[in-house]
């Protein structure tokens, strides 16, 4: 975990928009590192709770942008990012030339390239900076950032990236590659979750105890991080959404859209996407992505799963 340490930029403010599972931890990591952290969230109570611990709550992205030259956006998708910047009370109206917008959502890489150009026309710097690692690593400052942007944008960040992440990958001098690498990561994550669910479902159908199967697989060559992590949720019958089914409906959709543009075949991604689509349509859209196992017929899931 990052430790409290002096920061030569402690006289500067930084803004974080979006205090969900990842954004809340990222804001806390920045505060530990010595920044004066301004926050904004559609849930005013979330911003106020962070302010009570030493941050500064702002009522809108525009209010936040008036006080911060570096803004970190940690919202769900491109549409929410557009709203954060250009909607009512959006940040763009108050972003001065030379300020920096760090975009951490999983988006279409082409959209990220276009956003860089749109902000550049206003004199605003941009970092394409999707994130990975989950809420726990975000809270400890140990997540991964997949970034791309101009040297000027990195210079303006002034160590903020390293305060939030243990691994900061610099993947190019213009936007796009950060988002490309992130959606490839999501390809693997989604396929692994779908495969893990299929394997566990087959074991249950064949009468193998879920606990026994989990123990054997997690100590065998067929294991994956996603099997070990997500099938633990299935064993517990707990589908509280750490990452929801609909996240992979979106993210695998982005993967397929990107590949479709160059007619590149992705048969495993397409199958996994259909599985998450089926789970979403069946009513599990907002459950943990491990709930994709619920699409398989004729199995009895561990207690607590039904109707979770």
Query: Is 182 assigned a catalytic role?
Result: yes
Using CA atoms, how far apart are residues 195 and 28, in angstroms rounded to an integer? 35
Question: Are 24 and 47 contacting, i.e. CB atoms less than 8 angstroms apart?
Answer: no
DSSP 10: T
Report the DSSP beta bridge partners of residue 71.
15, 101
Out of 137, 156, 180, 182, which one is annotated catalytic?
182
Measured between alpha carbons, how far is 81 from 75 in angstroms, rounded to an integer? 6
Beta strands in the chain (DSSP E): 13-17, 36-40, 56-57, 70-73, 100-103, 125-128, 131-132, 143-149, 165-170
The alpha carbon of 306 is separated from its chain's Cα centroid by a whole number of angstroms, namely 28
- Orientation angle between helical segments 44-52 and 23-32, nearest 10 degrees: 20
Distance from CA of residue 188 to its chain's centroid?
Answer: 15
302 DSSP assignment:
P
List the catalytic residues: 182
């Amino acid at each position: 975990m990052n430790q409290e340490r002096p920061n030569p930029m402690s006289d500067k403010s930084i803004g974080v928009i979006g205090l969900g599972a990842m954004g809340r931890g990222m804001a806390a990591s920045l505060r530990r590192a010595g920044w004066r952290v301004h926050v904004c969230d559609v849930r005013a109570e979330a911003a106020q709770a962070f302010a009570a611990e030493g941050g500064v709550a702002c009522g809108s992205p525009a209010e936040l942008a008036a006080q911060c030259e570096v803004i970190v956006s940690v919202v769900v998708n491109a549409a929410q990012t557009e709203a954060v910047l250009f909607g009512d009370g959006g940040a763009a109206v108050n972003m001065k030339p030379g300020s920096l917008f760090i975009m951490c959502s999983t988006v279409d890489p082409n959209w990220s390239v276009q956003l860089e150009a749109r902000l550049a026309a206003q004199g605003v710097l941009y970092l394409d900076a999707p994130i990975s690692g989950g809420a726990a690593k975000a809270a400890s400052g140990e997540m991964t950032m997949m970034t791309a942007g101009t040297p000027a944008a990195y210079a303006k960040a002034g160590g903020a990236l390293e305060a939030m992440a243990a691994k900061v990958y610099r993947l190019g001098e213009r936007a796009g590659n950060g988002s490309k690498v992130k959606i490839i990561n999501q390809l693997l994550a989604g396929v692994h979750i779908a495969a893990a669910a299929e394997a566990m479902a087959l074991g249950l159908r064949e009468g193998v105890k879920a606990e026994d199967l989990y123990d054997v697989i997690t100590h065998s060559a067929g294991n994956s991080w996603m099997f070990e992590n997500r099938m633990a949720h299935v064993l517990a019958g707990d589908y509280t959404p750490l990452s929801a089914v609909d996240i992979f409906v979106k993210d695998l959709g982005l993967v397929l859209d990107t590949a479709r543009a160059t007619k590149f075949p992705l048969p495993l991604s397409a199958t996994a996407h259909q599985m998450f689509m089926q789970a979403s349509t069946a009513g599990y859209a907002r459950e943990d992505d491990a709930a994709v196992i619920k699409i398989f017929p004729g199995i009895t899931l561990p207690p607590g799963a039904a109707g979770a």
